[in-house]
Structure 1
């Protein structure tokens, strides 16, 4: 059954025009609900959950969940789920999408928001096509998650009993519709507070304890030990990065050049497909900061202090090739004219948490390119293929 690609593109343009950066998804949530109703989904089948009340950072709204009863010969088959996220990175604020041939580009100097308005377009198009053509399909749950871009929070905090016990899920995120992503890395997000002692840097520098120097020594130790950037230790691999360095929320690291800096706050991350190895990377950072703090002393022999905290953002997963969901995904990609590319991802996905919740989940792309940059654009041929793929996945016998 061919998909109405013009209607699908119109929906995508409509969704791209609605701002909804991570944590501020109320407006795009309302637009999605309106589009679903226009597509024939009854209002009673559409609801918002209360995940935002459990997310530890301010979040305007909960996840959007839609229940589609099974129809026809497949009505009593096990439930399946299609999911995506409805937030964008903050760089997308102010985007102005426009069509340019078989692309959607941006006339503003921002990111476009194809990540992940494309996924939203695919899921609403799926609902519209199933209703328009009265296609046979099993019971389906549609899940639009909040705050994916800032920590996979919506998927992490969804209540499983809200989802209707799906036996498998298909997630739409970035890249090609032919990508069959069956695994992804896990990651720690860590912070370290470095406490030194302030002193006049020109009059009595020896009385101070420089938190900046503690940080410098720690990072030099990490780099020398091979724990920064791409990390390879024998057969184990991972990555790490040092992110924002500040003096706390909204403050610079240090107050003036003539004052020994007494406080620095550092944020970073550690990643690996190996569930133990990314924690080893984090431990290497912790040890380096603690060692550096002891090294930096003042004239009185007092040293600095550090407070290191780490939290697992998401856990790695790699599904077995023999799982039914992978067979279904590969067959569906082939059926819509694609060449299946079974692979793993080096970034976190909502699928990380779905698999952790016990729901096997494959992730596909939907035509997003150069995501999180001002060069972002959407390949409409891939987007159309992603929409056709969703219909294929939903109606396969």
Structure 2
């Protein structure tokens, strides 16, 4: 089915030029709203929800939701949803997109923002083509989520009844438009506060309790036990990582080399396709920090203390190949000239929460490459295919 690829690329370039790092999506939300109206979507069909009032970190705006009534022979079919996220990682701030042949590259030393301005371009192009070509389609919801990059918060806090209770959904967030992603890992996000005791490191180090040493012993224990990085325990597999190590918000871990460090804050994550196993990985970290705290004592016999907290960021899922949403996805990819690559993802997706909400959701790519790096670029051939795929998915009988 023909798509105006020049208009689709122009939209993508337009959206890439609008900064909108995670939590600061108001400007890109306004730009998407304007582009949707220009594409023929009535203003009354476009709205923001109040998910940002439920998200526990500062978020400028809610999710952007668009209602497209069904048309023609398909107007009474069950509602379907197309979704993407409108935030980027902070590394995208200051991006300068530039076309280079069949690629979009970046003139700035930042990430480009194809993740996920590509998805935004696909959804707006879908709305534009449905209106321009007056194509028959079922009722459709378009959902542009906030704060995907910092915890899938927009999808987590959306209300299902505000989406019109779709029967299935198609999410755009990945590399190739031929990828049919039907499952993804679950993850814990954990943090630990390590409390020691400050002392002059040259005059009386024995009076101190080093939080740094507690952390070092704990992480060495985790590594020795096989719980760091790629984790394989029998038939169970997962991953873990230790992220920022600080002395609290905006502070280094430790004040000076001549002071025994009394406080360290560590953040990390545990992932697995097995919903129980990523919890086991988290428990291994907790046990290691608690054990290490007891080992580090001062001359008076006092030991350090730890305060370990963990929260499930998202739950793993894997849909069956024979579900209607998967069959529709595979058929559509083939119809636009692709070879369906049915697979699972090792990263979290907004689809994790949509499936949790009860909406079976398949995820596709839209031409993004080297996301979250300064080498990021967009394959316009894949982007064009992703746009054509969306139209195919929306109009299949």
Q: TM-score, normalised by structure 2?
A: 1.00
Shift of 1:376: 0.2
What are the Cα deviations for residues 301-323 of structure 1, in whole angstroms up to 9, with x where unaligned? Answer: 00000000000000000001110
What are the Cα deviations for residues 51-76 of structure 1, in whole angstroms up to 9, with x where unaligned? Answer: 00000000000000000000000000
Q: Which residue of 2 aligns with 1:226?
A: 226
What are the Cα deviations for residues 252-307 of structure 1, in whole angstroms up to 9, with x where unaligned? Answer: 00001010000000000000000000000000000000000000000100000000
3-state SS of 1:302 partner: coil
3-state SS of 1:20 partner: coil
Q: Which residue of 2 aligns with 1:269?
A: 269
What are the Cα deviations for residues 179-235 of structure 1, in whole angstroms up to 9, with x where unaligned? Answer: 000000000000000000000111111110000000000000000000000000011
3-state SS of 1:105 partner: strand
Within 5 Å, give how 1:73-84 maps onto structure 2.
Answer: 73-84=73-84
2-side partners of 1:276 and 1:373: how far apart? 31
Shift of 1:241: 0.2
2-side partners of 1:125 and 1:389: how far apart? 11
Q: TM-score, normalised by structure 1?
A: 1.00
Shift of 1:388: 0.1
Q: Which residue of 1 aligns with 2:135?
A: 135
Q: Which residue of 2 aligns with 1:93?
A: 93
3-state SS of 1:284 partner: helix
What are the Cα deviations for residues 315-364 of structure 1, in whole angstroms up to 9, with x where unaligned? Answer: 00000111011100000000000000000000000000000000000000
1-side partners of 2:166 and 2:202: how far apart? 66
1-side partners of 2:230 and 2:362: how far apart? 26
1-side partners of 2:235 and 2:24: how far apart? 41
2-side partners of 1:120 and 1:181: how far apart? 18
2-side partners of 1:322 and 1:339: how far apart? 18
What are the Cα deviations for residues 62-109 of structure 1, in whole angstroms up to 9, with x where unaligned? Answer: 000000000000000000000000000000000000000000000000
2-side partners of 1:253 and 1:107: how far apart? 35
Shift of 1:174: 1.5
1-side partners of 2:205 and 2:98: how far apart? 58
2-side partners of 1:349 and 1:120: how far apart? 15
3-state SS of 2:307 partner: strand
2-side partners of 1:202 and 1:31: how far apart? 59
What are the Cα deviations for residues 347-390 of structure 1, in whole angstroms up to 9, with x where unaligned? Answer: 00000000000000000000000000000000000000000000
3-state SS of 2:239 partner: strand
2-side partners of 1:109 and 1:322: how far apart? 44
Q: CA RMSD in A?
A: 0.3
Say yes or no: does 1:153 pair with 2:153: yes
Runs of 4+ in 1 over 3 A off after TM superposition: none
2-side partners of 1:301 and 1:195: how far apart? 15
Number of residue equivalences: 397
Structure 2 regions of 5+ residues with no counterpart?
none
Say yes or no: does 1:316 pair with 2:321: no
Structure 1 regions of 5+ residues with no counterpart?
none
Say yes or no: does 1:33 pair with 2:8: no
2-side partners of 1:215 and 1:57: how far apart? 27
What are the Cα deviations for residues 129-163 of structure 1, in whole angstroms up to 9, with x where unaligned? Answer: 00001000000000000000000000000011100
Q: Which residue of 1 aligns with 2:305?
A: 305
3-state SS of 1:306 partner: strand
2-side partners of 1:257 and 1:15: how far apart? 47
3-state SS of 2:243 partner: strand
2-side partners of 1:375 and 1:253: how far apart? 31
1-side partners of 2:204 and 2:219: how far apart? 26
Shift of 1:21: 0.3
